[in-house]
Structure 1
Amino acid sequence: MNLKKKKKSYKASNLPPGTIAYRGKKQSVATNIEIINYSKDKCTILNTGAVQEAFNFKGNEHVTWININGLNNVNDIETLGLHYKLHPLTLEDIVNTGQRPKLEEFENYMFVVFKMLFIKNDDEIHYEHLSLIVGEDYVLTFQEADGDVFDDLRERLQSAKGRIRSQGSDYLMYAILDAVVDNYFTVIEVLGDKVEDLEGLLFQSNKADDRTPGQIQQLKQEILRMRRSIYPLREVISRIEKTDFAFIEEKTHSYLRDLHDHIIQVSESIDLYREMIWSLMDMYMTIISNKMNEIMKVLTIIATIFIPLTFIAGIYGMNFKNMPELNTDNGYFILLGVMFILFIFMLIYFRRKRWL
């Protein structure tokens, strides 16, 4: 694993407040606008690349959901913002993908920024900047590119399942937030599987190698990024639930309270896995330390066995003429026998002490 850190470049934009400048990585995404206009008895779906086609649905006594993909096309977003009388600071935040989750209330709409997380390529966690604007009879959502978690919601709108077609724009806002939060549980499940797999790898110490610390560090960074993306949404949903905004009906507040409970559950799971990943690093260091202790123990035992043998060999390796044993018949074999007996005795002693 190449852990060489890429050099980052930091550049201050220093633009006037309200300047609409895209700040993201997807610079070549074409504008794709999905319009869902519905009432209790009818649902119309339109996909287009022309932002002007969204103007015809305003004020038609139906609820309209307009989903815009492609934040890099700031001219289209500015055109739509002018039609719906969105504040310049709102438009600035829509195209700034570095915004943390937040809630802002204006005279004729409410603006929510949050992160949409979903799984791509089996276990890769994808992060999407999502902005939501809810007005009296419309909901606008803005995201960087194609791919979201709203397929079930679209199917419910088309087939008139549940109560969504008979509710207003405030319930549609709740349904969108609920779809995002429900998908957090799927992401958390994938994250939990990664943590548990790594934990199992560590317990099988023969499979842990030099790549393990990098895997732990990568997983820790993933958890921290997820925490930064999800944690602030607790406060956002709590504020929406407590607000007395004119477009949010009283019966919708009970759904928002349930949504708040869900996001707290997600946050607690993230904190749990955060603690687990820290303990995995401690566990890895403990395993490495134990391995080192085992190696040092073996080397110490070997050195201890050979100390007396080396001592005897050293004595009889001295070049003195008056050493009585030098002229002893079979002295060489007697000395080897004594050394062998010492060797066996020390092995038995270490075995009884359970050092071997």
Structure 2
Amino acid sequence: MARTRLYRHGALESEDLPVREVARRLRDGDVMAWIDLCGPSQDELAELAEELGLHELAVEDALHAHERPKLHQYDTHCFLSAYAVRLDERTGRLRHAELSAFVTRHALVTVREDDRFDVDLLVRRWDESPELAGSGVGYLVHGLLDCVVDSHFEAVQALDEHIEHLEDLVFADRPDDVDVQRRALSLRKSLVTLRRVVLPMREVVNGLMRRDRELVDAALVPYFQDLYDHVLRATEWTESLREVVATIRETQLDIQGNRLNLIMKKVTGWAAIIAVPTAITGFYGQNVPYPGSGEPWGFWVSTAAVLLLSGGLYVTFKQRDWL
């Protein structure tokens, strides 16, 4: 179902009117409207495009999924695409909701492929600042992008917490290397996806603030500047986390290498200790006459030699931290 809102003179006048009725009322110069279409057909969107004068290339982009976050300027309107994201706490995977929007002089038309984007949150965001509605469509666009960028911030913050937990796993006494590797690769994949949707938002927000578009008035300038600052912070945070995950992976490999060297050092030390009784007992086990052969003192001499030499090697290796 389509959701609509109609504003007149900066005040909310009505909600959930039919799309055709909203398009008809937009012919008055003192109104602005929001039209939301969830999973529209090509004919439905084409009909609205004809009514509002939307460019066919923009309509085509809105109907095709997996568009890059971007902002395009046409003669009568702007077209932007963006992604709201959410991190699945159980799997650590990033879920995204694609959103396309047509920004005309008096209307904001949002197009969604499904209901993964929280439209109720968007409506609440607008209702929290009704005093800005007099600024026109820029007020609606700001609320929309504010929801999108906030989702980026929440996702990168959640990823940061997951990475901190991963650091604790790496330095655990008995780490599960397979689990650490799986988590690291999953987080790295999520960060790559997040970077793809966050990085282009700088161009989107910066492009909307251009004065020749006449979308952002003096009252909205501080809000868009704050939005742009949030985009930069989310971008920098994402880049830093990507470096942290790479560092964690390198640290894990270094720890595994050091642990293997320590194990090999201990194994070599014990092998040297075991070699002493093996050599002595092998010597006294020869089938030829030798000093002490068949005599009790020969047994005691060999036993004493095993104990003294093995004990001496153990003490020496222990002092040098080889065991």
Who is 1:343 aligned against? 310
What is the CA distance between 1:248 and its match in structure 2? Answer: 4.0
What is the CA distance between 1:238 and its match in structure 2? Answer: 1.6
What is the CA distance between 1:108 and its match in structure 2? Answer: 1.2
Who is 2:32 aligned against? 63
Provide the secondary structure at the position in 2 that maps to 1:211: helix
Distance 1:205 1:149, change over 3 A: farther
Supply the AA of the counterpart residue of 2:14.
T
Supply the AA of the counterpart residue of 2:100.
S
Which of structure 1's runs of 4+ aligned residues deviate more than 6 A?
none
Of 172, 183, 186, 2:154 maps to: 186
Of 184, 190, 207, 1:239 maps to: 207
For the residues of structure 2 that align with 1:300 and 1:157, how far apart are their CA atoms? 70
- Superposed CA deviations along residues 197-242 of structure 1, whole A, max 9, x for unmatched, are 1111111141323222121111101100110111011122122223
Q: TM-score, normalised by structure 1?
A: 0.82
Q: TM-score, normalised by structure 2?
A: 0.90
Provide the secondary structure at the position in 2 that maps to 1:44: strand
Supply the AA of the counterpart residue of 1:134.
V
Who is 1:24 aligned against? none
Distance 1:348 1:247, change over 3 A: closer
Who is 2:251 aligned against? 283
For the residues of structure 1 that align with 2:121 and 2:81, how far apart are their CA atoms? 21
Of 254, 264, 267, 2:232 maps to: 264
Q: Write 1 or 2 for the structure with the bigger share of helix.
A: 2
Contact 2:23 2:51 in 1 (8 A): yes
For the residues of structure 2 that align with 1:120 and 1:354, how far apart are their CA atoms? 46
Of 131, 142, 157, 2:111 maps to: 142
Supply the AA of the counterpart residue of 1:333.
W
For the residues of structure 2 that align with 1:113 and 1:41, how far apart are their CA atoms? 27
Superposition map of 1:242-321 within 5 A: 242-320=210-288
For the residues of structure 2 that align with 1:59 and 1:119, how far apart are their CA atoms? 42
Of 53, 64, 78, 2:46 maps to: 78
What is the CA distance between 1:141 and its match in structure 2? Answer: 0.9
Who is 1:100 aligned against? 68
Distance 1:106 1:333, change over 3 A: same
Provide the secondary structure at the position in 2 that maps to 1:210: helix
Supply the AA of the counterpart residue of 1:97.
A
Contact 1:164 1:172 in 2 (8 A): no
Provide the secondary structure at the position in 2 that maps to 1:206: coil
Supply the AA of the counterpart residue of 1:148.
F
For the residues of structure 2 that align with 1:47 and 1:41, how far apart are their CA atoms? 16
Contact 2:93 2:190 in 1 (8 A): no
- Kindly indicate whether residue 215 of structure 2 is the aligned counterpart of residue 215 of structure 1: no
For the residues of structure 2 that align with 1:34 and 1:136, how far apart are their CA atoms? 19
Distance 1:184 1:38, change over 3 A: same
The percentage of aligned residue pairs carrying the same residue is 25
Who is 2:14 aligned against? 44
What is the CA distance between 1:162 and its match in structure 2? Answer: 4.2
For the residues of structure 2 that align with 1:238 and 1:126, how far apart are their CA atoms? 25
Of 96, 100, 105, 1:127 maps to: 96
What is the CA distance between 1:110 and its match in structure 2? Answer: 1.1
Distance 1:215 1:184, change over 3 A: same
Contact 1:114 1:130 in 2 (8 A): yes
Of 126, 132, 135, 1:164 maps to: 132
Distance 1:207 1:57, change over 3 A: farther
What is the CA distance between 1:257 and its match in structure 2? Answer: 2.4
What is the CA distance between 1:270 and its match in structure 2? Answer: 0.2
What is the CA distance between 1:254 and its match in structure 2? Answer: 3.7
- Superposed CA deviations along residues 135-173 of structure 1, whole A, max 9, x for unmatched, are 111101111211334534413545x74423322012211
Provide the secondary structure at the position in 2 that maps to 1:86: coil
For the residues of structure 1 that align with 2:322 and 2:306, how far apart are their CA atoms? 21
Supply the AA of the counterpart residue of 2:97.
E
RMSD of aligned Cα (Å): 2.3
- Superposed CA deviations along residues 20-42 of structure 1, whole A, max 9, x for unmatched, are xxxxxxxxxxxx21101123344
For the residues of structure 2 that align with 1:274 and 1:102, how far apart are their CA atoms? 23
- Kindly indicate whether residue 291 of structure 2 is the aligned counterpart of residue 324 of structure 1: yes
Q: Which runs of 5+ in 2 are unaligned?
A: none
Provide the secondary structure at the position in 2 that maps to 1:67: strand
Supply the AA of the counterpart residue of 1:310.
T
Larger CA deviation: 86-95 vs 283-292: 283-292
Larger CA deviation: 61-70 vs 141-150: 141-150
How many equivalent pairs are there?
320
Contact 1:205 1:287 in 2 (8 A): no
For the residues of structure 1 that align with 2:235 and 2:144, how far apart are their CA atoms? 19
What is the CA distance between 1:120 and its match in structure 2? Answer: 5.7
For the residues of structure 1 that align with 2:184 and 2:292, how far apart are their CA atoms? 63
Q: Which runs of 5+ in 1 are unaligned?
A: 1-31
